[in-house]
């Protein structure tokens, strides 16, 4: 059972906009910034979003993050086949004194 | 180019020990906190341990306290994870990752597979 809650799956067609939710509590998302990772099949995770909505260089601006209260969302617009991957949210947890992850959402395009 | 290369994984019997290594290059290793994150087959990501720099403060997930030990050698640009009393449920790919903030890891290695089985 993951500390952060994500839907196990999401889907969309090419060109569509999809959102993936991440729910936590006051000890993690409520008081700390959220990070999102993308994991393509058979590869290591890749940093997608940090500090709630910041994109590392190389991540396209059709990918965005937001946070409100104890929940966060990842939005991908202009969906492409190469977006098909697993997506994980993460945040520092003040009670556990370490980072916690969501269970992951498998995005099908 | 930043590179993290893990090694040391393999097949080990329950109760055994294993030491993982992560060789870092392409950045000033001593300037970054480092982490181990694992992923069991078909499962999600799980934080294992973190170590700060230059003072090596260490932090562990509850499942790993007393069994795993994280360490680093800044002179050798290397990160380590000593794993003792291994259990079947420790079977996973173990990744080393560089921190840019407490839960944000900007570079990851390719991972090393640890299989605990008799």
pLDDT in tens, B14-66: 999 999 999 999 999 999 999 999 999 999 999 999 999 999 999 999 999 99
- Give yes or no for residue B95 having a pLDDT over 90: yes
State the pLDDT confidence band at B13, using cuts at 50, 70 and 90.
Answer: very high
A8-36 b/e with 16+ CB inside 10 Å = b?
Answer: eebebeeeeebebebbbbebbbeebbbbb
Cβ within 8 Å, pair A35-B108: no
Q: Tell me which chain B residue has its CA closest to the CA of residue A3.
A: B46
| Among the partner residues A44, A99, A103, nearest to B109 by beta-carbon distance | A44
Cβ within 8 Å, pair A2-B44: yes
pLDDT < 50: residue spans in chain A: none
Average pLDDT over residues B85-95: 97
Q: Read out DSSP for A57-88?
A: TTS-TTEEEEEETTEEEEEE-S--GGG-EEEE
The number of helices, as runs of H, and strands, as runs of E, in chain A is 0, 9
The predicted pLDDT at position A1 comes to 83
* Sign of the four-CA dihedral B97, B103, B106, B110: positive
Q: Tokens at residue A91, please?
A: 């945040």
Question: A11 - beta bridge partners?
Answer: A108
How far apart are the CA of B22 and the nearest CA of chain A, in angstroms? 14
The predicted pLDDT at position B102 comes to 85
How far apart are the CA of A102 and the nearest CA of chain B, in angstroms? 8
């Amino acid at each position: 059972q993951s500390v952060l809650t994500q839907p196990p799956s999401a889907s969309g067609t090419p060109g569509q906009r999809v959102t993936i939710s991440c729910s936590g509590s006051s000890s993690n998302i409520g008081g700390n910034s959220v990070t999102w990772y993308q994991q393509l099949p058979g590869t290591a995770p890749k940093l997608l979003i940090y500090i709630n909505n910041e994109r590392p260089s190389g991540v396209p601006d059709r990918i965005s993050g937001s946070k409100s209260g104890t929940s966060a969302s990842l939005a991908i617009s202009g969906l492409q086949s190469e977006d098909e991957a697993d997506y994980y949210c993460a945040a520092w947890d003040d009670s556990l004194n370490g980072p916690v992850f969501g269970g992951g959402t498998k995005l099908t395009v | 180019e930043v590179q993290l290369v893990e090694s040391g994984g393999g097949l080990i019997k329950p109760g055994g020990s294993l030491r993982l290594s992560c060789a870092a290059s392409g950045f000033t290793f001593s300037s970054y906190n480092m982490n181990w994150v694992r992923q069991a087959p078909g499962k999600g990501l799980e934080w294992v341990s973190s170590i700060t720099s230059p003072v090596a403060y260490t932090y562990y997930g509850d499942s790993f306290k007393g069994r795993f030990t994280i360490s680093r050698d800044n002179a050798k640009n290397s990160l380590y994870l000593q794993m003792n009393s291994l259990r079947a449920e420790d079977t996973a790919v173990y990744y080393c990752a560089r921190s840019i903030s407490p839960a944000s890891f900007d570079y990851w290695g390719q991972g090393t597979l640890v299989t605990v089985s008799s």
